[in-house]
Amino acid sequence: MDRFHAMQVFNRIVELGGFGKAADNLGLPRASVTTVIKQLEAHLGVQLLQRTTRQVSPTPDGEAFYERSVRLLADLEEAESSVSEARHSPTGLLRVELPGSLARLVVIPALPAFCARYPRLELEIGTSDRPVDLVREGVDCVLRAGAFHDARLAARPLPPLPQVSCASPAYLARFGTPSSIEALEGHRAVSYFSALSGRRFDLEFSCGGELRSRSLPSQVAVSNAAAYVSACEAGLGLIQIPLYHVRSQLAAGSLVEVLADCRPRDLPLAVLYPPHRQPSLRVRVFIDWLVAVFAEAGWVRGEDLGRGLRATLASG
């Protein structure tokens, strides 16, 4: 029995919650996965997994074995990478989760350079804003904007995302252009709500170091960033959104920034990954690359808005 292979199979069963899912993920026949676990349990002399008709879960011994095997396999991968050609050319599958808009507008357009630099890496990119259980779903890292408090994960901060308040020309023609926070009386907003909690978010303005919130009436509420922008373009109300998401609309004139002197606070951005003692080389090079992408993208950070938008549109 290959004990390291057995650990990998066992870990995937624990993380995915089933023999069949683990077999599919590893590209193995289900019968092979079952045989490996039987051999591992016989070798250790303990039951590692509790099997029921509906789910598979680790026993207390299985939980302890899982915690140790995760660290051991991470150390093994790092040791192999440090003494092989993979030190300069990481290999294998890298599974990442990205917010849909950041993936489409920022990360994926920059990917050709990353793929050319690391030709032996294979990327599997999920695009969603849902909470991801990195360990159980076998995801290597996740890019998240906003609050990302999770004590179980390590975090690498990225440059925060500037945000802007926007409206369509048609909306402003109807309701007027607000010149101050007080002038928002009589205006309306497109509401954005969390698909998980249902919470609706107020508009937020930072004026002279003071943070001020406003709750405006709304007729339309959405839970998707693309729909949020579309509703604003349709003249349904004011929105607040990261600048990168509306750069082309601002340049084309289908949206107009309002209250530019009282922009919302920057949106925090970070890469989250399981807190092994040392992330794998695959994860490290991808995170380092993301840091460089966001540090160099002046139009993402909001530097020289007009020139950045013109350059981006000209290059696209």
Together in a domain, 94 and 77 = no
Together in a domain, 9 and 72 = yes
Alpha-carbon gap, residue 239 to 202, rounded angstroms: 10
Nearest alpha-carbon partner for 80 in 233, 278, 315, 300: 278
* b/e code 116-145 from CB counts within 10 Å (16+ = b): eebeebebeeeeebeebebeebbbbbbbbb
What the block records as the tokens of 228 is 């949020």
Higher-pLDDT residue of 71 and 109 is 109
Residue 173's SS3 state is: helix
Range of the domain at 138: 85-161+267-315
Nearest alpha-carbon partner for 172 in 239, 262, 225: 239
pTM for the structure as a whole: 0.67
The predicted structure's pLDDT at residue 256: 96
Together in a domain, 194 and 167 = yes
- We report the CATH number of the domain holding residue 149 as 3.40.190.10
Which of 82, 97, 117 is at the close of a domain? 82
Together in a domain, 76 and 101 = no
- Going by C-beta distance under 8 Å and a sequence separation of 6 or more, which residues neighbour residue 205? 165, 181, 211, 212, 213, 214, 259, 262, 263, 264
Together in a domain, 152 and 199 = no
Nearest alpha-carbon partner for 86 in 277, 276, 281: 281
pLDDT band at residue 309 using 50, 70 and 90 as cut-offs: very low
pLDDT digits (tens, 9 = 90+) for 226-236: 999 999 999 99
Together in a domain, 68 and 132 = no
Residue 28 has pLDDT above 60, yes or no: yes
Together in a domain, 123 and 66 = no
pLDDT digits (tens, 9 = 90+) for 239-250: 999 999 999 999
Together in a domain, 39 and 49 = yes
The predicted structure's pLDDT at residue 186: 93
Residue 82 has pLDDT above 70, yes or no: no
Residue 73's SS3 state is: helix
Q: What's the one-letter identity of residue 251? A: A
The predicted structure's pLDDT at residue 84: 53
pLDDT band at residue 261 using 50, 70 and 90 as cut-offs: very high
Residue 76 has pLDDT above 80, yes or no: no
pLDDT band at residue 273 using 50, 70 and 90 as cut-offs: confident
Mean pLDDT of the chain: 84
- Going by C-beta distance under 8 Å and a sequence separation of 6 or more, which residues neighbour residue 135? 15, 70, 152, 274
Alpha-carbon gap, residue 249 to 148, rounded angstroms: 28
Split into its structural domains, the chain has a count of 3
What the block records as the tokens of 238 is 């004011």
Together in a domain, 77 and 98 = no
Together in a domain, 11 and 74 = yes
The predicted structure's pLDDT at residue 133: 72
Together in a domain, 157 and 282 = yes
The predicted structure's pLDDT at residue 257: 96
Share of the chain above pLDDT 70, in %: 86
Q: Report the range of poorest mean pLDDT among 13-27, 86-100, 115-129, 279-293.
A: 86-100
- We report the CATH number of the domain holding residue 24 as 1.10.10.10
The predicted structure's pLDDT at residue 230: 96
Which of 240, 262, 284 is at the close of a domain? 262
Residue 27, Ramachandran bin (φ over 0: left; ψ between -120 and 50: alpha; else beta): left
Share of the chain above pLDDT 90, in %: 39
Which of 58, 82, 106 is at the close of a domain? 82
Higher-pLDDT residue of 132 and 251 is 251
Together in a domain, 255 and 177 = yes
